[in-house]
Chains A and B, each alone.
Chain A
């Protein structure tokens, strides 16, 4: 389990992280969403024992990162957003070095390395020099490296950044496999919408403050006071436009003639929405469909962090 209590990091008068309180339960996947500089990497660096917080504390399986950093390191597998590899070291030697660094015996490493390379689909690159691997392969190798000591917790900072679509899909599949293995995963990513299906919960961070946390659906409900409604009309839209405009919960109504659509923002509850539809049907408006526009995590993120309207 990961827990942060009042975690704060200050640089002079600037707050990189402000009073962060977060809990990630065992065996769950927690996605961290935020713009660049929002405080994601700072949080991860503190959890990885690379950075001392100014105030507060973070606990990994009950161990304080401040008081027991050495023990915490054994519990976590950390993958930074930017990392380098050693020149003239082969993939298996790379893993062997880190295995030895975690105190694994040579025989244990001998057994583990092929398995890890297989997990990240790099068994065919075992004897290749790591600096000659592609970006996606290096990312996967780094993930294998983070798993070498079989940590219960994985802290992955932007593991899919800079990858092409195929490499992203491969990375997502590996992460799903790790989730199935029961690992607790804390992940930040710009492609979180793609990963939303595998995240049990997410946290939205902005300017060092956690502004929302919960399941993807909860966050959407929590943060969206207005829904985007789309109504498809068979025939002239004038009467329908007038009808919807008069509803007290409707605002910013627009017509999209080429698609025969009327789009508006709706503030009412689901019951209000039902009544509105029943009234429209009673007025015999030529409605083909009446639906709430699907919003993904990216829309929510944009709306929260920039205060923008949804779509």
Chain B
């Protein structure tokens, strides 16, 4: 682990990322926006409810909304942070020199990937004190928060790996960014659309009481749906019951996303020294 964290690319990238003020101002504005949202929500709820206090179910609602906001943040920022990691080096003509050092392709990809997602992780962690406000009002267990953070981490890793893969495969950063956003849109919107279609088809064929296993599949790879089931576990059981698939949605999500991340990283590592591939 120590060797992995002493990765020269990782150290250099972190140094460069935090040397300019952009990263700090980014985090600052994110925290300001989150604070305005949280305190605004609490203020409005307590002012208009007439009771003057913040109830646990309202606290849970706030927690759910913040969770979705952060998921949106991960989905939209990760492609931009990772899709230029290798292609920028290529465009700046620094990649060839890097490839002639003793570092293995895995070390280079790992360093690039970790440094990119480290920034986003820092952003999420820096928001934890604001998140922890919900504990003051109840309605949310620390265990739930922990599960949500693991979910974030997996989503981050997967989208990040896809970004690094496209950055390795595609020469131009802008095209790599577009490809990564397309993959993200597929995972978020297209799978959701397919899930709805699959539900409609099932309802027409089998009646409202049951769905086809395809519904379970599309639901299990859609981050918004899986997030919803993590926040409302009862719905997860309901989907499982209706599709008759014994696998929990989160387990399907874990298998597919961990597999996607591993495959993407493998492709990136294999294709980094593309000109050293035989018969090229």
Interface residues of A (CB under 8 A from B): 45, 48-52, 69-70, 73-74, 76, 78, 80, 82-89, 93, 97-98, 100-103, 142, 145, 149
How many angstroms between the C-alpha atoms of A102 and B15 in the bound complex?
19
Task: Return chain B residues, CB-CB under 8 Å to A86.
Answer: 12, 16, 92, 94
* Contact residue among A69, A89, A97, A145 (Cβ-Cβ distance under 8 Å from B276): A69
Q: Does B97 contact A (CB under 8 A)?
A: yes
Asked, given contacts A88-B19, A100-B8, whether A80 binds B96 with beta carbons under 8 Å apart, the answer is yes
* Contact residue among A51, A87, A93, A102 (Cβ-Cβ distance under 8 Å from B102): A102
Main secondary structure of the interface of B (DSSP, over half): loop
Asked, given contacts A84-B92, A101-B103, whether A51 binds B276 with beta carbons under 8 Å apart, the answer is yes
Q: Does B20 contact A (CB under 8 A)?
A: yes
How many angstroms between the C-alpha atoms of A49 and B11 in the bound complex?
25
How many angstroms between the C-alpha atoms of A83 and B96 in the bound complex?
8
A80 in contact with B278 (CB, 8 Å):
no
B93 in contact with A87 (CB, 8 Å):
no
Complex: chain B residue closest to A142, CB-CB: B97
**Nearest CB of A to B86, in Å:** 14
Q: What would 15 A/B residue contacts be, using CB atoms closer than 8 Å? A: A45-B275, A49-B100, A52-B275, A52-B276, A69-B276, A80-B93, A82-B93, A83-B96, A88-B20, A89-B16, A100-B6, A100-B8, A100-B11, A102-B102, A103-B102
A98 in contact with B275 (CB, 8 Å):
no
Task: Return chain B residues, CB-CB under 8 Å to A100.
Answer: 6, 8, 11
Interface string of B79-111 (1 = CB under 8 A from A): 000000000000011101111111110000000
B97 in contact with A83 (CB, 8 Å):
yes
Interface residues of B (CB under 8 A from A): 6, 8-9, 11-12, 15-16, 19-20, 92-94, 96-104, 273, 275-278, 280
A101 in contact with B98 (CB, 8 Å):
yes
B12 in contact with A89 (CB, 8 Å):
yes
How many angstroms between the C-alpha atoms of A145 and B97 in the bound complex?
10
Task: Return chain B residues, CB-CB under 8 Å to A87.
Answer: 16
B16 in contact with A48 (CB, 8 Å):
no
B8 in contact with A101 (CB, 8 Å):
yes
A49 in contact with B94 (CB, 8 Å):
no
B101 in contact with A98 (CB, 8 Å):
yes
Complex: chain B residue closest to A129, CB-CB: B19
How many angstroms between the C-alpha atoms of A78 and B101 in the bound complex?
9
With A80-B93, A84-B93 already in contact, 11 other A-B pairs whose C-beta atoms are closer than 8 Å: A52-B278, A69-B276, A73-B100, A80-B96, A83-B93, A83-B94, A84-B94, A101-B9, A101-B98, A101-B103, A103-B102
* Contact residue among A50, A52, A85 (Cβ-Cβ distance under 8 Å from B100): A50
Q: Which of A52, A82, A85, A101 has the most CB of B within 10 A?
A: A101
**Nearest CB of A to B4, in Å:** 14
User: 6 smallest A-B Cβ distances: which pairs?
Assistant: A100-B8, A101-B101, A84-B93, A84-B92, A78-B100, A101-B8
Q: Which of B93, B96, B101, B104 has the most CB of A within 10 A?
A: B101
A88 in contact with B16 (CB, 8 Å):
yes
Task: Return chain A residues, CB-CB under 8 Å to B97.
Answer: 78, 80, 83, 98, 142, 145
How many angstroms between the C-alpha atoms of A202 and B93 in the bound complex?
28
A74 in contact with B102 (CB, 8 Å):
yes
* Contact residue among A45, A80, A93 (Cβ-Cβ distance under 8 Å from B15): A93
Asked, given contacts A101-B102, A101-B103, whether A50 binds B276 with beta carbons under 8 Å apart, the answer is yes
Complex: chain B residue closest to A71, CB-CB: B102
How many angstroms between the C-alpha atoms of A70 and B103 in the bound complex?
8
**Nearest CB of B to A85, in Å:** 7
Task: Return chain B residues, CB-CB under 8 Å to A45.
Answer: 275
How many angstroms between the C-alpha atoms of A73 and B12 in the bound complex?
21
How many angstroms between the C-alpha atoms of A86 and B11 in the bound complex?
14
B102 in contact with A73 (CB, 8 Å):
yes
**Nearest CB of B to A56, in Å:** 13
Task: Return chain A residues, CB-CB under 8 Å to B96.
Answer: 48, 50, 80, 83
**Nearest CB of A to B273, in Å:** 8
Q: Which of A51, A83, A97 has the most CB of B within 10 A?
A: A97
Asked, given contacts A80-B97, A83-B94, A84-B94, whether A97 binds B8 with beta carbons under 8 Å apart, the answer is yes
Complex: chain B residue closest to A103, CB-CB: B102
How many angstroms between the C-alpha atoms of A221 and B153 in the bound complex?
70
Asked, given contacts A73-B102, A83-B93, A84-B93, whether A52 binds B16 with beta carbons under 8 Å apart, the answer is no
How many angstroms between the C-alpha atoms of A103 and B8 in the bound complex?
9
How many angstroms between the C-alpha atoms of A87 and B12 in the bound complex?
11
